[in-house]
Structure 1
Amino acid sequence: MIDGMPYRQVGEMRPGGLVCVADHASNHVPEAIQLGIDRSLLDDHIAVDIGVEGLADRLARRHEIPAHIATVSRLVCDFHRREDEPAVVPTQSDGHLIPGNIGADVENRLQQYHRPYHDALAAFLTAARPRLIVSLHSFTPSLATSDEPRPWEVALLYNHDDRAARHAIRLFAQQGLMVGDNQPYSGKQLNATMDRHAEAHGIPYCTVEIRQDQIASEAGQARWAVMIADVMGRVALEV
């Protein structure tokens, strides 16, 4: 966390351009919170969207797409959930019990982390007046609790507003990629941040899910930053 805030913002704001949001970019757990899990799990997908922080930083610093980036693990407070969802402070994830969150003071977590994060994001978007919001996530190639294959290299998620997603699906496919359409999970069930900050205000958005092995290294992040900047720049011209 920076100055006690559950987010950081990177890049120069250019009103009317593109912006990036990364809800699950960090695996940081504040010292005051004891999750009761093996520390190795903090490097697992249950704690962080692997590769997303480096990708968001690169988009902001090298491709002029300013970013709002989470600095607290989703196991502390999941910014990509509504306040009233039980999983906003998860007690289990992909077969792993999170004992330190059982009986946690959820209201305190919301006050310390969730609300400051979303209040700052709302102010960030008001100042940016973006033409397109790019919401970045990554997904694990396989879940411990499922043997269902996840072959997509990239996926676009959406709820009601699929204007930008449709263009992005086509453009990524033209790169020779296997592209998921509301896979490996559906934005119609889980789209909290974009529902709140994009759909509710009529702002076009793309929720981009990249398979973690694609962006686990700096080289992968550099490759995908170039592709995302190019594809999203073209999408922004069409919505």
Structure 2
Amino acid sequence: MSLPYRQIGEGTRGPTRGGIVCVSDHASNQVPGGIDLRIDPALMNEHIGVDIGVEGIAEEMAANHGIPAYLATVSRLVVDLHREEDHPGVVPQTSDGHVIHGNMGVDVEERLSSIYRPYHEAMAKWLDKRDPSLIISLHSFTPKLATSDEPRPWEVAFLYNQDDRAARIAIQFFAEEGFTVGDNEPYSGRQLNATMNRHAEPFGRPYLATEIRQDLIATAQGQKHWARLLAKVASRVAQELG
């Protein structure tokens, strides 16, 4: 099995300490060989299989804005890297009304040992080498769930658990720019913040747990636009936090 992550945007001199970095747990819709999820393959390109748009944004920030990235290379339907190991949905059996037949009765421990733990162990080392001033935890959300009639009006949102230092600055910035900004929306970081709870909050590392609405970043043009916006606000946040 190939590595469950990839690292992009490093300079020829290797890691730079103290800068801004990006991590994205749901950047891929790939399913490793030997795993059959037994769902319609078209669903892998929808929001249940991948955070639409985030890979392109991360690649753009790495290439043109000096923000290296650590990206998952395995779909969230194989194992959800943004859940705790003991979370009931770490290997999801359903997602937005779809049954993931291939995950019924699966050996969860095997998925954790072969994919989940190597991913997070390597991320810990990657972050330790960089000692970042700010982590962008990059996600995207569907404008409306299939299982809900409630629209999600926010264009961008920032989540947090205990540490809201960076989120507060970013929320204010985007609100001043005229965006509809979510504060711990479309779900609360106090319930779902697994990766930053593990890699940021215990170390006092400021982070922007960012959610961007998927219809805004489904194209390369949209991804470039939001990469510029996010790089701009991240730089401002890092400066204000000192």
TM-score, with structure 2 as normaliser: 0.97
Alignment gaps of 5+ in structure 1: none
- Which of 191-200 and 167-176 deviates more? 167-176
Equivalent residue number for residue 7 of structure 1: 5
Which residue of 117, 120, 133 maps to 1:115? 117
Within 2, Cα distance between the matches of 1:215 and 1:111?
33
Q: How many residues align?
A: 237
Equivalent residue number for residue 208 of structure 2: 206
Within 2, Cα distance between the matches of 1:67 and 1:75?
22
Is 1:29 equivalent to 2:31 in the alignment? yes
Within 1, Cα distance between the matches of 2:184 and 2:31?
30
Equivalent residue number for residue 229 of structure 2: 227
Q: Calculate percent identity across the aligned residue pairs.
A: 63
| Cα distance, 1:195 vs structure 2 | 0.4
Within 2, Cα distance between the matches of 1:91 and 1:149?
24
Equivalent residue number for residue 143 of structure 1: 145
Q: Aligned partner of 2:34: which letter?
A: A
Q: Aligned partner of 1:127: which letter?
A: K
Within 2, Cα distance between the matches of 1:42 and 1:79?
16
Is 1:160 equivalent to 2:162 in the alignment? yes
Q: How does 1:50-89 map to 2 (within 5 A)?
A: 50-89=52-91
Equivalent residue number for residue 198 of structure 2: 196
| Cα distance, 1:142 vs structure 2 | 0.3
Within 1, Cα distance between the matches of 2:234 and 2:176?
14
- Secondary structure at the aligned position of 2:89 is classed as helix
| Cα distance, 1:175 vs structure 2 | 1.8
Within 2, Cα distance between the matches of 1:188 and 1:146?
22
TM-score, with structure 1 as normaliser: 0.98
| Cα distance, 1:234 vs structure 2 | 0.3
Equivalent residue number for residue 45 of structure 2: 43
| Cα distance, 1:31 vs structure 2 | 2.2
Alignment gaps of 5+ in structure 2: none
- Secondary structure at the aligned position of 1:87 is classed as coil
Q: Which runs of 4+ in 1 moved over 2 A?
A: none
Within 2, Cα distance between the matches of 1:17 and 1:23?
20
1:164-205, Cα deviation, whole Å (9 max, x unpaired):
000000111122110000011000010000000000111000
RMSD over aligned CA atoms reads 0.8
Within 2, Cα distance between the matches of 1:14 and 1:172?
28
Within 2, Cα distance between the matches of 1:121 and 1:59?
18
- Which of 203-212 and 8-17 deviates more? 8-17
